[in-house]
Amino acid sequence: MAPATILAVDDEPELTELISYHLGRLGHRVLTAANGWEALEKVRHERPDIILLDLMLPDLDGFGVCEILRRDPLTATIPVIIISAWASVDSRHLGLELGALDYITKPFSPHELIERVNRFVSQRADRTAG
């Protein structure tokens, strides 16, 4: 499996460090952003293969980020996995309705995160090979 560029967006540095550590060990390039506007800026400049997006962010929340990404043809197809402490059915439904492809509830196991990311990386490899 080819390494991917992954953007982890969360205002908790401990969480982005944990994500960077586990996905970096697999050879992925992990970028981080601490708020919604920083995330959008990094997406425009770095074009990540996958975005791991928290919903509760300072300034622009994850719902807003997802909505902006989906309206832009250049970013509309980037897979978004929401990682949030909000475990309600409504927040999960809204996140998926706004275009996220998956939803992981905090706290999560690194193993679960790796499995979900690897699934999207494999799908990306299949699309580019086909």
Structure confidence at residue 86 (pLDDT): 78
Q: Which two tokens mark 1? A: 């499996």
Using DSSP, how many helices (H) and how many strands (E) does the chain show?
Answer: 5, 5
pLDDT score for 1: 67
- pLDDT number for residue 130: 56
Spatial neighbors of 37 by CB under 8 A, at least 6 apart, are 59, 60
Where the chain has pLDDT below 70, the residues are: 1, 124-130
Q: Specify the pLDDT at position 125.
A: 62
- What pLDDT does residue 99 have? 82
Provide the β-strand partners of residue 62: none
pTM equals 0.91
Burial of 29 (0-12, 13-18, 19+ CB in 10 A): middle
